[in-house]
Homo-oligomer: A and B are copies of this chain.
Amino acid sequence: MTKKITIYDLAQKLNISPATVSRSLNDHPAISQKTKDKVLLVAKETGYRTNKFAANLSKQKSNTIGVIVPKLNSNFMSTVLSGIEKIANDVGYNLIISQSLESEEKEKLNAKTLFDSGVDALLVSLAYETENFDHFTTYTDRKIPLLFFDRVCDLPNCPTISIDNHAAGFDATQHLIQQGCRNIVHISGSLKRNVYADRFDGYQRALHKNAIEFHKENLYESDLSIENVQKFVERIRDSKHKVDGIFVSNDTFAVHCIKELKKEGYKIPEDIKIIGFNNDPVSEVISPNLSTIEYPGYKMGMLAGQSIISHLSGSINIQSADQILIKHKLIIRESTKI
């Protein structure tokens, strides 16, 4: 129905130049209030909508932030995204979200596509596989703000947001030890990713501090997909040394371990104590409730959003925060009770 109204139409109606219209709409200081009011009024009446395409082209920016995540459909990720969206939306930025599906190849493609789409900044949580980071140089070369969250990597001038996974891994393990565990299995995701590598490191440090020797058979590395649960539980059952504690890098996996262990006749926490990671909703649903590490996803999302937006709006303290660490918290529930 309504056809597109352009600033030229408004200009004609008001007998002024398109430039003045443009400036009025953008509240440029050099325009008199009287003129601005007139323009705004007519703009409202005619239902004028600025054409973002044109504006983007001449300004070479899109008011859009790109996001690449491994998977959309995980509780943690969608919570983070929710936080990012909240912030971005509040300040008028759009979010283009894409998923790498844990594939380096797809991550590269997404990075390229988003670049071509002209995103003003990029937020990334890395795929499991990714080992090479060249696909991000396009951004760093052109000074497009790039920020990593959760699954981060160490690129020059790229701020990161995460929790202190070292400390969190330590705390989780230390807790198990305090509860009397002496032969603790660690179920980890890909050690290529900082989040898992650091937790593993924390696990080792805790063992060491308590003078417990680390046996490499006690490290179970996988992609943490549920299919592995049974295999791992069998491995625990058949372990030479009786396993009395498990630190799982992910609540979902931990929960399914509990189910499977119970099927095998284990009593949790009497026979084996288990602690997870993330504080997913499921951790409070399983019986016994799962001890875990709280990982505040929503907060992380909001921080990521704020950080990148302050970059974009050129706040002063840009370079100051290269690495933001969010506090984690040990949550003790039944699965590690003595």
Contact = CB atoms under 8 A, between A and B. Distances in A.
B64 A96 contact: yes
A52 B85 contact: no
A287 B63 CA distance: 47
A297 B85 CA distance: 21
A118 interface: yes
A228 to B, nearest CB: 16
Nearest to A84: B72
A82 B92 contact: no
A252 B73 CA distance: 16
A326 interface: no
Contact of A96 (B96, B142, B298): B96
A54 B57 contact: yes
Contacts of A52: 116-118
Contacts of A20: none
B115 A49 contact: yes
A194 interface: no
A95 B94 contact: no
Given A53-B56, A53-B57, A99 B82 contact: yes
Given A78-B78, A281-B282, A85 B62 contact: no
A332 interface: no
Contacts of A230: none
A178 interface: no
Contact of A85 (B49, B98, B141, B298): B98
B99 A97 contact: no
Contact of A77 (B63, B78, B110, B297): B78
